[in-house]
C-alpha cells in the first residue's frame, strides 16, 4: 500500500510541475530566451502549436514554388520572434501576426 501511495504522490508531483509542452519544438532543447519563454507559458505554447498547425497545413497544400516563399517568410519570422527574448507581449504579438499571415495564405489556396 505504501508503494502505491508513493508512486501516486510522485506522479502527482510530476503532473503539477510540468511546464507548457504543447509546442512545435522540443522544450528539452530550448536554449533561446524566446523558446524558454514559450515553453514556460501555456498561452504562448498554444499559440506556437496553432501557428505550426497552419504552417504545416500550408506545406501540404501549396505547390513547391509557393511553398518556398512561405518557408522563407517563416525563417524570417523566427528570427524576428527570437529577438523578443522573454518579452511575453512581443512574443504574443509576433504569433498573432504570423498566424494572420498564414491564414491569408490558407484562404488564398
Tens-place pLDDT, residues 49-68: 999 999 999 999 999 999 99
> Taking the CB of residue 22, how many other CB atoms lie within 10 A of it?
13
Show the cell assigned to 42: 501555456
pLDDT at residue 109, as a whole number: 83
Confidence of residue 21 (pLDDT cuts 50, 70, 90): low
pLDDT(72) > 80: yes
Q: Which residue has the higher pLDDT, 19 or 10?
A: 19
Range 82-107 average pLDDT: 97
Residue given cell 517563416 in the structure block: 74
Model pTM above 0.75:
yes
> Taking the CB of residue 23, how many other CB atoms lie within 10 A of it?
19
pLDDT at residue 24, as a whole number: 87
Tell me what the pLDDT averaged over the chain comes to: 84
From 3, 44, 7, select the one nearest 25 (Cα to Cα). Answer: 44
Amino acid at each position: 500500500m505504501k508503494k502505491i501511495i508513493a508512486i501516486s504522490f510522485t506522479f502527482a508531483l510530476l503532473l503539477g510541475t510540468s511546464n507548457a509542452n504543447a509546442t512545435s519544438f522540443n522544450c528539452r532543447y530550448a536554449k533561446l530566451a524566446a523558446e524558454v519563454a514559450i515553453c514556460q507559458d501555456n498561452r504562448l505554447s498554444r499559440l506556437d502549436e496553432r501557428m505550426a498547425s497552419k504552417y504545416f497545413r500550408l506545406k501540404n497544400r501549396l505547390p513547391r514554388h509557393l511553398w518556398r516563399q512561405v518557408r522563407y517568410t517563416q525563417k524570417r519570422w523566427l528570427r524576428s520572434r527570437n529577438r523578443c527574448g522573454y518579452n511575453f507581449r512581443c512574443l504574443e504579438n509576433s504569433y498573432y501576426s504570423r498566424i494572420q499571415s498564414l491564414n491569408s495564405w490558407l484562404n488564398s489556396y
